[in-house]
Amino acid sequence: MTHQCDEPVTQMHLKPAMTVGELVNAMGKAGAYNGGSLYHAAEIYEQMLKDKDTTKFFGLAGAMVPAGMGGIVSDLIRDGHIDILVSTGANLTHDIIEAIGCRHFHGTAFCNDIELRHDEINRIYDVYLPNEAFEHFETFMQSVYGELEPGTTVSISGLLRHIGLHLKTGILATAAQKAIPVYCPAIQDSMVGLQYWLFSQTNKVTVDAFADMPALLDTCFATKKAGALLVGGGVPKNFILQSMLMTPNGFDYAIQLTGDRPDLGGLSGATLDEARSWGKITEEAKAVTVYADATITLPVLVAAVMERLSHA
């Protein structure tokens, strides 16, 4: 195999009033390491959003809403850039907390957590959330669950849509307004799930964990192309990628933003090339992984691509 040296690295020069798109393009000309990967992610994401035949999946893992990333997801839903959202229950819990008027606060990771416990403050690295927020959350959730019709069966996405219809802002509210399905296959692993368990002790409404599968797989069979933007990994990543396994299709576009390493064998760090071996991603798919903090890469990626689309 002959290797070519025909594309030189271009040294970056920054200038005042440089746009995010211009910065990402300059990173692409430098083209090295994860800066180069972020540029390639922007190229793929732009193509994915412009491709009208593509069903656009979005996976949301990690503690992204407490870090202020929920607004980006909500805006992408609003603007028609997400067709299917798969999230952890934790992100949806924090989305609801923000939507009912409670806030997350700037804190520090260098603190005494026992003192925080005594002060009734919960810590998510350097974000603080007072216990008071969960008291308001419980009141809201029990009220909303109380409006479910006794004796009925509801899917997880139906339950989340029911919640979203009682909110005015945030991810679930926007998804409900736009009729975008939100899947949360591990909803029990969250305060949303714990509050439902509390509700179920005195009420008879069944949540069917498998009821979402027919509509999801019908979409996967019917779609001409599929694309995925994966923030982190975990359950949302696997739930999205495995959705194509039962079909002759695979993902044609895939972008993963993660801080995890691939050599430890965990799903969150696994390369997208590895997914090709399973047939989850097509052999010809345009795919890239950016190994960096998603609170940096997600805003930069989305801002750069939205800038490109505004000039298209």
- Adjacent-strand bridge partners of 145: none
The length of the chain is 312
Quote the CA–CA distance of 79 and 273 in Å, as a whole number: 30
Instruction: For residue 158, give both structure tokens.
Output: 């139906």
DSSP annotation string for the chain: -PPP--SPPPPP---TT--HHHHHHHHHHH--HHHHHHHHHHHHHHHHHH-TTEEEEEEE-SSTTTTT-HHHHHHHHHTT--SEEEE-HHHHHHHHHHHTT---EE--SSS-HHHHHHTTEEEETTEEEEHHHHHHHHHHHHHHHTTSPTT-EEEHHHHHHHHHTT-SSSHHHHHHHHT--EE-TTTTSSHHHHHHHHHHTT---EEETTTTHHHHHHHHHH-SEEEEEEES-HHHHHHHHHTTTTSS--EEEEEEEE---GGG--GGG--HHHHHHHTSEEEEEEEEEEES-HHHHHHHHHHHHHHHHHH-
Q: Decide: 41 and 253 in contact? Cβ < 8 Å.
A: no
Catalytic residue among 56, 237, 280, 286: 280
Q: Which amino acid is at 49?
A: L
Cα torsion angle, 306, 298, 86, 202, sign? negative
Whether residue 280 lies in the annotated active site: yes
Q: Within 13 Å and on the Cβ side, how many CA atoms surround 230?
A: 32
Indicate which residues carry an active-site annotation.
280
